[in-house]
Amino acid sequence: MILGCIADDFTGATDLANTLTRRGMHTVQTIGIPKAAAPEADAIVVALKSRTIPAAEAVQQSLDACRWLKANGAKQIFFKYCSTFDSTDQGNIGPVADALLDELQSPFTIACPAFPENGRTIYLGHLFVGNELLSDSSMRNHPLTPMKDSNLVRVLGKQTPHKVGLVPWKIVKQGAPAIAEAFAALEAEGIRHAIVDAVEDKDLENIGAASSALALITGGSGMAIGLPANFRVARLIPKREGASAVPKIGGPGIVLSGSCSAATLGQVAAFAAKHPAHAIDPVALAAAPEKAVAELLGWAREKLKKGPALIYASAPPERVAAIQAQLGREQAGTMIEHALGAIASGLADQGVRRFVVAGGETSGAVVSALKVEALEIGPQIAPGVPACLSYGSPRYALALKSGNFGGPQFFTEALKALA
Ligand code: ADP
């Protein structure tokens, strides 16, 4: 392994693994720190669920992951968080980055959540989401990490006792040598974290090239765009174009959807128009969970004899609000995640090996129900969503999609890509 990555959530890890793979690194995503030996790969992305847990726990989990990655050969560590810098004054970006710097005995790192291709740009330290400042975007109302300040120098400054600086775009646009000089100058001033401006994807390539000597890099998945080239220049990886195809897995394919995002609702409607689809009734599920899961499994067994099928809890906002009012927000979410996990494992017992899953939390629940510890990352199906193949036995072909990813026909495309 050359690059060791720590991601603070599950589908964010997949997104990062997809970016690295597309740029020619053979990448494996692990679900937490695997118990088995480290898989063979150029890059390993350890997926944690540490974005909104207490900072001390996030620090501990990230340090454990860092030590495991270093022990297995990582030459550089990448800490991946959301491109909207999801965090609070308590963390967890600042505390985790500080702890990783201490662990790596390094005085300086950068923080760059930009991904211009996906509408995340940084100018003079201010993060924009599309055409809006972060603090004017819907992220200002996020239930767990409301982002009410767009000035990342200030935001990160509240999360660390150390000095936070800025590499402005007028330097970034001059290219990698100027950026590397700016890093050295900031480090000499005693700055520990530098927010780096980026307004075009080309900037990320230059920032990546300027970061080759850093022990720790922090950023969004876009920040990884420029890293594989460093390892190619250093002759640590061969020249490769994108991912090699993952082996095809035959047999029936199922779509499980627990995402209620707008894109997913469209995908559910498009798939249900042409294929058997069964909605989960959360009230019936709450009343008799085992009976409801058994019925859904019986339904799926029949339908899968003839072709693919969909089981979904996805519902429009007003229906979700009504269910949450009746059952409680978290209780409803966890109950549905458990049910979809139980359905996945019941289907696996029936021999199903191809799963398309919609929803970040839902994907985490399904992968853990299937007892998957690591995923090999294959070619991209849609931006941010690669085809994955699980390690271990049996092997599953998986497409794990966070809420708003994928076009209307994503489910059909994904089943085809996995078959
Ligand atoms: P996304 O990636 O779109 O955010 P997630 O799977 O991360 O999707 O989150 C969706 C959450 O909504 C899950 O906890 C899921 O169990 C829950 N959920 C799904 N359907 C319903 C529903 N009909 N009512 C209430 N909650 C639901």
Both 212 and 101 in one domain: the answer is: yes
CATH number at residue 68: 3.40.50.10840
User: d(Cα 111, Cα 375) in Å, to the nearest integer?
Assistant: 27
CATH number of the domain to which 257 belongs: 3.40.980.20
Tens-digit pLDDT profile for residues 288-335: 999 999 999 999 999 999 999 999 999 998 999 999 999 998 899 999
**Residue 211 and residue 72 in one domain:** yes
H or E element that contains 158? none
CA-nearest residue for atom 26, ligand 1, is 333
CA of 90 to the centre of ligand 1 (A): 26
Q: Are residues 115 and 160 in the same domain?
A: yes
Average pLDDT, rounded, for the chain: 94
Residues 6+ apart with CB under 8 A from 72: 1, 4, 38, 44
Q: Which of 233, 268, 285 is the last residue of a domain?
A: 233
- By most ligand atoms within 8 Å of CB, the mutation choice from 319, 361, 367, 400 for ligand 1 is 361
Name the residue range of residue 82's domain. 3-233
pLDDT at 243 > cutoff 70: no
Are 195 and 267 contained in the same domain?
Answer: no
411 domain residue, yes or no? yes
200 within domain boundaries: yes
Q: Is the residue at 244 inside a domain?
A: no
Average pLDDT over residues 239-260: 84
248 belongs to a structural domain: no
Residues 220 and 333 in one domain: no
388 Cα–ligand 1 center, Å = 22
80 versus 146: the higher-pLDDT residue is 80
* Residue 239: inside a domain: no
DSSP per position, 72-84: TT-SEEEEE--TT
Q: How confident is the model at residue 163 (pLDDT cuts 50, 70, 90)?
A: very high
| Number of folded domains that form the chain | 2
Q: Do both 286 and 221 map to the same domain? A: no
Among 233, 265, 288, identify where a domain stops.
233
Q: State whether 13 and 113 are in the same domain.
A: yes
259: in domain: yes
CA gap 41, 27 in Å, rounded: 6
Q: Which of 29-43, 229-243, 287-301, 332-346 has the lowest mean pLDDT?
A: 229-243
- What is the mean predicted confidence (pLDDT) over 258-287? 95
C-beta of residue 88 within 8 angstroms of C-beta of residue 16: no
75 and 209 together in one domain: yes
Question: According to the model, what pLDDT value does residue 209 have?
Answer: 97
CA dist., res. 247 & res. 397, Å (int) = 9
Considering the domain architecture, whether residues 160 and 69 belong to the same structural domain is answered as yes
User: Same domain, yes or no, for 263 and 301?
Assistant: yes
Question: Does residue 243 belong to any structural domain of this protein?
Answer: no
User: Which residues does a 6 A CB cutoff place in the pocket of ligand 1?
Assistant: 258-261, 264, 282, 313-315, 319-320, 323-324, 332-333, 336-337, 359-362, 402-403
- What tens digit of pLDDT does each residue of 100-131 get? 999 999 999 999 999 998 899 999 999 999 99
Same domain, 227 and 303: no
pLDDT band at residue 165 under the 50/70/90 scheme: very high
Quick one: 32 and 165 in the same domain? yes
Which of 199, 233, 267 terminates a domain? The answer is 233
| Residue 245 belongs to some domain of the structure | no
Separation between Cα atoms, residue 128 and residue 200, nearest integer Å: 12
